Structure 1
Amino acid sequence: MPTAEARIATERPSRYLVQLCKHFDNKGRHLIHRSRAHALPDVPTDQIHVAWTDGDGVLRLPWGQCTLRATPGLLRVRVEADGQENLGRLQDLVTTHVGRFSRCDPLRVDWQPSP
């Protein structure tokens, strides 16, 4: 199973972890009421599962999983999927949302393959 990791330097790792998890949890519960443009493609609403604390989070989609961990000065993100195409989808999803949530003070997301 292909995996990749990103270590995102930030003074507020827990804030971004919680924001990402709440966003996807909300998408999973309320996707029906949103426009199609904001929907995740090919993802039925009952197949988005999110769990988190201030320090750890997990996002499960039909095509992969994203695990987040907040440590001092760093948000660690690990994505794993059943193929390279789906791994890329997860990486793009996380990168896009981190970029959107950090517009005022942009964060850099550099993906590295996991061993």
Structure 2
Amino acid sequence: MHTAEAHIATERPSRYLVQLCKHFDNKGRHLVHRPRAHALPDVPADQIHAEWTDSDGLIRLPWGQCTLRATPGLLRVRVEAEDRENLGRLQDLVTTHIGRFSRRDPLRVEWQPSP
């Protein structure tokens, strides 16, 4: 299993956690309605699962999963996949969405391999 983590400094970690999970929970439309440069496959809505609270979130996709935790001043994101290609997809997907959600006050997402 390949994993990577990002610790994203923000004054509103819970807001971004919830927004990201709600977005993925929206039946996967965001994955199939816009072709992306990294060629994400069409994913049926029943293969996407998201659950969350204000402090913790889990997003499962066919190629891996993303766990999120909001702590004061920090959004912790961990992605896991069976191979490096799918790990890169997840990292790109999360980074792109965080970038879009934080346009007014851009957040910095830097990935590190997990131990």
TM-score by length of 2: 0.91
* Equivalent residue number for residue 94 of structure 2: 94
Deviations 1:53-82 (A, max 9, x none): 000000000100000000000000000001
- Which letter does structure 2 place at the counterpart of 1:94? V
Identity %: 81
- SS of equivalent to 1:27: coil
Deviation at 1:43? 1.4
Residue 42 of structure 2 aligns to a residue whose secondary structure is coil
- Cα distance change of structure 1 residues 35 and 42 upon mapping to structure 2, 3 Å threshold: closer
- What does 1:80-91 correspond to in 2, within 5 Å? 80-91=80-91
Distance 1:83 1:64 in 2: 9
Shift, 1:52, TM fit: 0.2
**Whole-angstrom distance in 2 between the partners of 1:60 and 1:35:** 16
Residue matched to 1:36 = 33
User: Which structure 1 residue ranges, 5 or more long, are not aligned?
Assistant: none
Any idea what SS the aligned residue of 2:43 has?
coil
Following the alignment from structure 2 to structure 1, what is the Cα–Cα distance between the partners of residues 27 and 60?
A: 12
Per-residue deviation, 1:38:
6.5
> 2:25 corresponds to which letter in structure 1?
D
Aligned residues: 112
Letter in 1 for 2:44: P
Q: Could you tell me which residue of structure 1 aligns to residue 8 of structure 2?
A: 8
Structure 2 match to 1:45: 45
Between the aligned partners of 1:35 and 1:24, the Cα distance in structure 2 is 12
**Cα root mean square deviation, aligned:** 1.9
Aligned to 2:55: 55
Q: Which has the higher helix share?
A: 1
Residue 57 of structure 2 aligns with an amino acid whose one-letter code is G
Q: Post-superposition, which runs of at least 4 consecutive aligned residues in structure 1 deviate over 3 A?
A: none
Unmatched runs of 5 consecutive residues or more in structure 2: none
